[in-house]
Amino acid sequence: MPRKHLIAPSVLAADFTRLSTDFDMVNRSEADWFHLDVMDGRFVPNITFGMFVIEAMHKMAEKPLDVHLMIVEPEKYIESFRKAGAHVITVHHEACPHLHRTVLQIKETGALAGVALNPHTPVSVLADLIEDIDLVCLMSVNPGFGGQKFIYRTLEKTRQLKEMIVAANSNTLIEIDGGVGLQNAESLLQAGADVLVAGSSVFSSDDPVATIARLKAFHASFDF
Ligand code: DX5
Ligand code: ZN
């Protein structure tokens, strides 16, 4: 039996005038995690929300919070995001000169440690660190905004990363973030993806609960 993949709806695409309604929808759906995008206007050209808002979201969420930090100097805030309720904390490779230290710092808080790679960053940069990372988030769009077009090259990067993880005999999860939906979910799972982040494809659909169920129902045709 292939291990079952996880679905993480990205709250960035939710309706912020009725956030509790959208959280309830995700709570009663087959989704596994809430994906929360933190942007600082420096690492990415957009600003979203920080730990205070996440603390409030944590009260509404009945599923783990997958916090994606698109910020410079994330090491300064890891403890606060953990206290706010983060279950997974993902930092960007491009924002961390001392990535190994930052990964260990995340794990010391008890959270799962994720590392995100921008579309231009090869997976090979993680070769000496892969066993220490709980999750690699492959950006399949340039980070900063929801609703962008999926970068096709991500499929090949997913395969390469899966090979690296299998060779290291590691349990690292592969998460794909950006432009994911019903049209590419199956190919991504087939390439080795474990977690699918889906923003606009879920929240802009007529029936988000059903869309999540459909994303969850796909599977790879073989075990890795
Ligand atoms: C992009 C964010 C994504 C985004 C995904 O910077 O990291 O999580 O919300 O949204 P969609 O699924 O609409 O591309
Ligand atoms: Zn994200």
Q: What are the boundaries of each domain within the chain?
A: 6-217
DSSP state letter for 141: S
pLDDT in tens, 97-141: 999 999 999 999 999 999 999 999 999 999 999 999 999 999 999
Residue by residue, DSSP assigns 156-185 as HHHHHHHHHHHHTT---EEEEESS-STTTH
Phi, psi of 88 (to 5 degrees): -115, 135
**Which class is 6-217 in CATH?**
alpha beta
DSSP state letter for 118: -
State yes or no: is 207 an active-site residue.
no
Instruction: Mean pLDDT check: name the lowest of 1-5, 94-98, 160-164.
Output: 1-5
pLDDT bracket for residue 223 (50, 70, 90):
confident
Question: Quick check: pTM over 0.85?
Answer: yes
Best of 37, 40, 139, 196 to mutate for ligand 1, by most ligand atoms within 8 A of CB?
A: 37
The residue type of 67 is V
* CB half-sphere exposure, 191, CA atoms < 13 A: 22
Greatest Cα-to-Cα distance within the chain, rounded to the nearest angstrom: 46
83-95 burial: b if 16+ Cβ within 10 Å, else e = ebbbbbbbbbbbb
How far is the C-alpha of 207 from the C-alpha of 127, rounded, in Å? 40
Tell me which residue has its CA closest to atom 6 in ligand 1.
Answer: 143
Residues with a CB atom less than 6 Å from ligand 1: 10, 12-13, 35, 37, 68, 141, 143-144, 146-148, 177-180, 197-201
